[in-house]
Amino acid sequence: MACPVQFLCRGLRTVGLVLLYYVFSIGITFYNKWLMKGFHYPLFMTLVHLTIIFCLSALTRQAVQWWTGKPRVTLRWKEYLRKVAPTAIATALDIGLSNWSFLFITISLYTMTKSSAVLFILFFSLVFKLEEPNPFLILVVLLISCGLFMFTFESTQFNLEGFILVLLASFIGGIRWTLTQVLTQKAELGLQNPIDAMYHLQPLMFLGLFPLFLFNEGLSLSTSEKLFRVTELSPLLYSLFTLSIGGLLAFGLGFSEFLLVSRTSSLTLSISGIFKEVCTLLLAAFLMGDKMSMLNWLGFAVCLCGISLHVGLKTYYTKNKGPSLRQLKSKSPELELPLLQRNGNESKDSATDECDEEEEITLH
> Whole-prediction pTM value?
0.74
Cα 229 to Cα 44, 132, 213, 244, 296, distances in angstroms:
16, 55, 18, 20, 44
Position 262 scores a pLDDT of 63
Position 327 scores a pLDDT of 42
Position 220 scores a pLDDT of 85
Q: Which domain holds residue 106?
A: 11-222+232-320
Is residue 336 domain-resident? Answer: no
Position 157 scores a pLDDT of 67
Is residue 325 domain-resident? Answer: no
Position 342 scores a pLDDT of 39
Backbone angles phi, psi at 291, to 5 degrees: -100, 125
Cα 157 from Cα 289, distance rounded (Å)? 11
Q: Which is nearest to 257 in space by CA: 175, 193, 338?
A: 193
Is residue 335 domain-resident? Answer: no
Is residue 296 domain-resident? Answer: yes
Cα 168 from Cα 116, distance rounded (Å)? 10
248-282 burial code (b ≥16 CB/10 A, e <16):
ebbbbbbbbbbbbbbbbbbbbbbbbbeebbeebbe
Q: What is the mean pLDDT of each run of 10 residues along the chain (364 residues)?
A: 72 84 90 88 92 93 89 85 89 90 86 78 75 76 80 69 88 82 72 81 92 88 75 82 92 81 65 78 81 81 81 71 44 38 42 42 36
Position 279 scores a pLDDT of 84
- What is the total count of domains within the chain? 1
